[in-house]
Structures are given as C-alpha cells and as structure tokens.
C-alpha cells in the first residue's frame, strides 16, 4: 500500500493512526517526511500526542535509499511518503510501481487540488508519468483527513475577533469558501472577500 502524504504533520499523523490501530509490521516512511519526523521527535514540548509519535517511530522503518525502495516493493508493506498530491517525490515513484497490481492500494489522505496527478487518479483511475498513461488496476481509496478547521470552528474563531476589517476566504472547496464569506458578511462587522482566482486584493 502506498500512502501519498504531505511531509509536514500529515505523514506522521498517518503513521500514528496506523500504529494506534495495530499496524506495526513493514510500515515505512520515505521522502522529506523522514526529516520532519526527526524534527518533531527533537521538540517534544511542541508536539501534541508526543508519546504516541515516539512509540510509533520506534517501529517505523525509514527508507534509506534505492535498495530499501526496491525491497519494500517486494513484500506486503505500507509506505507513507510525499508528495500528497502525487506531483513528485517518492510517492509518485511508488504509485507508478504498484499501479498495475490489483492486489495493491493507493490510499490518498490529502486534499487533491484540481489538475494534480492525485485528482486525475481519483477521477479517471489513471497516472500519467513522463507523458505516458498508466491505467490503475490497484485499488484507489481516499480518506479525507484534514488539518484545517471546519466551518463551525472558523465561525467561532471569527466571531471572537475584531468588529471591523477584512476576511479573505481561500484554500478550501469553492462552495465552502463562498458560504463562509456570506456568513461573515451577514453576521459580523467584517467585510468578507471570496476571490475567484489569482487576483490582487488591496487591503
């Protein structure tokens, strides 16, 4: 199983979720997520759930190079690696290697922005490395994990802030951003702007 994941926080969170549910054998971490794991382990006071992360890291296998990459593909295993949207990194390599194997799974746990390889894989069941096209026989599954606040948390946060100013709704599903902007305009003294694309905003 390949779990394409953001290197910062998400990869480590996925490793902890797997460990908390009894998945300890042959769980690997690759890419920049390895260095971030070590940074988190070095700063205990700033990490929520540090004990679980420390326990998880002791059983986690770290990919050290090409030989490990080849070896882990030979046995049933889980590899957690960036890039979360399959735009590059070791995850793209692993996904290409297992795409043709119907006994394998590509588990997407990150938001898949439109027009990214991960979004195409979800919508069409295809990977397009180097201009070629691979039809995925592997199972493609998405679990929507999020490190972002939801509408209720955002509304609570905004309602405790200033009575004047500007709120800009970005980095979310278009409908959710539009709904939040409408709520801000109707329920607060803030002026909400919901940009429709790359456009300058004068503040």
Output 153 or 24, whichever has higher pLDDT. Answer: 153
Looking at the fold, whether 92 and 11 belong to one and the same domain comes out as: yes
Which CATH number covers residue 45? 3.40.50.10890
Look at residue 202 in the predicted model and tell me its pLDDT: 80
Instruction: Calculate the CA 21 to chain-centre distance.
Output: 19
Is residue 133 included in any domain, yes or no?
yes
Q: Is the pLDDT of residue 203 over 80?
A: no
For residue 61, is it within any domain? yes
Report, as an integer, the average pLDDT of 44-51.
91
pTM above 0.95? no
Listed residue (144, 146, 145, 92) closest to 116, CA to CA: 92
Mean pLDDT calculated for residue range 28-41: 97
Domain assignment present for 203 = no
| Same domain as 106, residue 8 | yes
Structural domain including 69 reads: 2-142
- Segment 91-95 mean pLDDT: 97
* Residue 143, CA distances (Å) to 5, 21, 140, 161 in order: 11, 15, 10, 33
Is residue 13's pLDDT more than 80? yes
């Amino acid at each position: 199983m390949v779990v394409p994941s953001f290197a910062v926080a998400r990869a480590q969170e996925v490793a902890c979720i797997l460990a908390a549910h009894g998945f300890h054998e042959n769980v690997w971490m690759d890419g920049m997520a390895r260095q971030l794991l070590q940074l988190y382990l070095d700063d205990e006071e700033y990490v929520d759930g540090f004990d679980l992360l420390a326990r998880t890291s002791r059983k986690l296998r770290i990919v050290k190079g090409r030989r490990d990459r080849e070896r882990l593909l030979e046995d049933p295993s889980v590899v957690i690696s960036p890039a979360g949207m399959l735009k590059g990194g070791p995850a793209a390599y692993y996904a290409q290697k297992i795409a043709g194997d119907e006994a394998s799974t590509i588990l997407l746990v990150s938001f898949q922005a439109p027009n990214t390889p991960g979004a195409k894989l979800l919508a069409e069941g295809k990977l397009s490395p180097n201009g070629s096209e691979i039809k995925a026989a592997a199972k493609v599954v998405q679990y929507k994990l999020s490190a972002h606040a939801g509408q209720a948390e955002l509304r609570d946060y905004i309602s405790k802030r200033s009575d004047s100013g500007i709120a800009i709704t970005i980095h979310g599903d278009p409908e959710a951003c539009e709904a939040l902007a409408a709520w801000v305009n109707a329920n607060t003294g803030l002026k909400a702007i919901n940009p429709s694309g790359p456009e300058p905003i004068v503040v």
